[in-house]
Structure 1
Amino acid sequence: MDHPASPLPAMSVEQRYRLLVEAVTDYAIYLLDATGHVSSWNAGAQRFKGYAEGEILGSHFSRFYVDEDRQNGLPARTLDTAAREGRFEGEGWRQRKDGTRFWAHVVVDSIRDAQGQLLGFAKVTRDLTERRETQQALERARESLLQAQKVEAIGQLTGGVAHDFNNLLMVIVSSMELIRRRTGDDARLQSLVSTALSAARRGASLTQRMLAFARRQELNPVTVDALALVLGMRELLRQSLGPSVRLQLPTGQAPLHVQVDESQLELALLNLAVNARDAMPDGGSLTISVQPSVIKPLPGAASQPLPAGAYVCISLRDTGQGMDEATLARATEPFFTTKGPGKGTGLGLSMIEGLALQLGGRFVLRSQPGVGTTAELWLPAASAASALPKAGAEQVTPTGQGLQILVVDDDELVLSSALAMLEELGHRALGAASASEALQLLRSEPGVQLLLTDHAMPQVTGAELIAIARREFPALPAILASGFAELAIGQSPVTAHRLVKPFGLETLETAIARAMMPNPHP
């Protein structure tokens, strides 16, 4: 048998209102008198503002506002608006009893009697801190995604442009070297050729920066002691910084091994040092440190800036002008520079960031105007057992005889230049513009002794061509030429010597001699 609900005891309207307000805990609901002093207080207000009713009644409501809003007169404007228009609504920071801040949504309604006389205000406040943080996190995620998509698009474009530019430089370098061999003792012509070659090498350096930004530069990672590398750059850094900058280097530490391309890391550190020098036109100090660090997993985190593991952090801290937040946010953007025309490409920091990411690390910048900038290069630590002693410079003797070499490149100009270079070195060269044409020549020309192929070709890449050719000709030596690392580090599907574009006669001759050694080791 159902029993009817017990009716509420007889209460006045005021009692019912108070019971209702006291039952609400998600909102701060309270009354103010006409001057803004608190005249009632509910459980919700106590819950997230921290004041008990006895310690807040009679206090002016402005005590809930942060200092800057009180100084700007926001509490008075709030009441003026509510009195004039009947309601005020807004959001902003408010302050709890313990001094912590929360983001509040506030509604203030004026209360008037039957004659329209202002009696006071009803104020309702809701804590939106969690919702605001969630929205901001979502906005940051969206912004990061858009930035990543933009950088990826620019990276693809940059990588493609740099690849084509490398091919053009390849033609220029090879042609200039062939011309130099034929100018004889003409000092004027030799000087012009040398100038052209220097410009081409500068262009090659620029493409390396572009490819580093795109994370597609050719790397030769080896295990090196990062501390020893930094200390070995002492004189180079001092000469680059000049007498007005005091250089402080780390001392007395154990070896700290990383797996890096040594020359690329040296270039990155030199670039950072020069940036620090430029930020200290009146002099200052640059402190370089090399420290081990362990990144631990973040509990409950779907991702984190760096995977958990052991790292080596190379830090460069200057006392220069520093950067404001807007400049710092764009510092690693490609082609962004604060230097004057002709004084910077805007690719230096992009190159360093690309290098760090390609090696599985991270590049971090911190800066404050008037204080200075700290640049940190985080690289995965390598096992000391994997560090091999450096051998002396490899002595490679030219073959001394003409070889029959098959050259494969889909770029007609590059192919023509490579053929001319091989003929200049005394070899017999055959040319093919595609993998299919190359395979036909290999089958019809049994005398081919070496395969030299570009990697980035349509349909069938150079690496795939070598793999196919090796099925029919297992002992065929091969050289894989590339302007950038289309193949992941250490994951080449074929055994072949690597030749980085643009290359000159001497580099080509050395590569051929190395490939033709009895027991070649690419």
Structure 2
Amino acid sequence: MTADKPGNDGHGREHDDVARLHQAGDAAYRRLVEGVLDYAIFLLTPSGRIATWNAGARRIKGYEAAEIIGRHFSVFYTQPDIDAAWPDEELKLAREHGRFEDEGWRVRRDGSTFWANVVITAIKHADGDLLGYAKVTRDLTARMEQERERRRMAELVEESRRMTEFIAVLSHEIRNPLAPLTNVLSLLGRETLSPRAAWCVEVASKQVRQINRLVEDLLDVSRVTTGKVRLTTAPLELGEVVREAVEGMRPAAEAREHRLQGTWPREPLAVTGDRTRLIQLVSNLLSNAIKFTPPGGTITLTLRRDGDAAVITVVDNGIGMTAQTLAHAFEPFSQGEEHARGHGAHGAHGGLGLGLALVRSIAELHGGGAAADSAGSGQGTTVSVRLPLRTEADAGDAADAMK
């Protein structure tokens, strides 16, 4: 036997092996392409008719191979694109530049549209003759929707920021002239006035106090939204805080001829919180109930322990909330439209719908939360706030901080 040398039968066998490897590779490549599910991959004739069809094309576009092979690929384009001869323009650009990429709406078999990334590659013979095109399509609808949602959220955040800044500036500008008005009315109240003049001063004073309260609410919402609220926390007995708030709101309840009841446990409920803000929280809960309960109603506040939390619940027998109102109960300015239509909020009830928004914000700043419930319009409302109780570990941390 003689050894194989270049140019003899050994070289011929190697050439045959390479040819068989290429054939096997071509078959494997075709199977790979045909089985791809995430991309629609198919070949087009020079005139743009579909010559092959893979599993991804079937999944994305909805056609079976027997339905689509032989048809012009413009079937995937919207009518405006077809009218503008865009499919033929894509082939022309791919032919001239070797490759063309585009994104746009494409049409599935059922007529629905999807956002597609399309790459068309011209396939040419060694002598430059055009053999056809390879077309790869990706469905980017989900990604586009995510990007659209991201942009929408960014726009909402920016809009909220601008609105908050506007509210803060507006509130400060309104508050500036209120101080001298308050002083003037206070001085007039000390004068000897006719009954009519005294009545005018009383009405004006009441309205100025109302404007002051609304401005303070606006400023509080602005501070909470921009994260400028800083709690001055300390160990508190929540029952004392709640009782103080109830007594502070009792005159307002009596002015509306309401029966205001409060119940709380005998044992102390220890929390860590900002006393002023927690009084504001309870006062807003009661103010909301007083405002939306017709004269002569009953408002009940209950403070109780529930596991490792304290729960403050205010129940009224007022105008109640519909499901739509409940869904937005804790959003700023949410009370206006529906109550204005159904119950005359801006007339009989007044306010800007900030009370419950501040309740939720203060509760969350203390690590708690708020919830509202109602059986419907005219069925009263229940609003509950949960606040975490102070643990022994919290007490230890506070003691360490004081050393």
TM-score relative to the length of structure 1: 0.39
Higher Cα Rg, which structure: 2
TM-score relative to the length of structure 2: 0.48
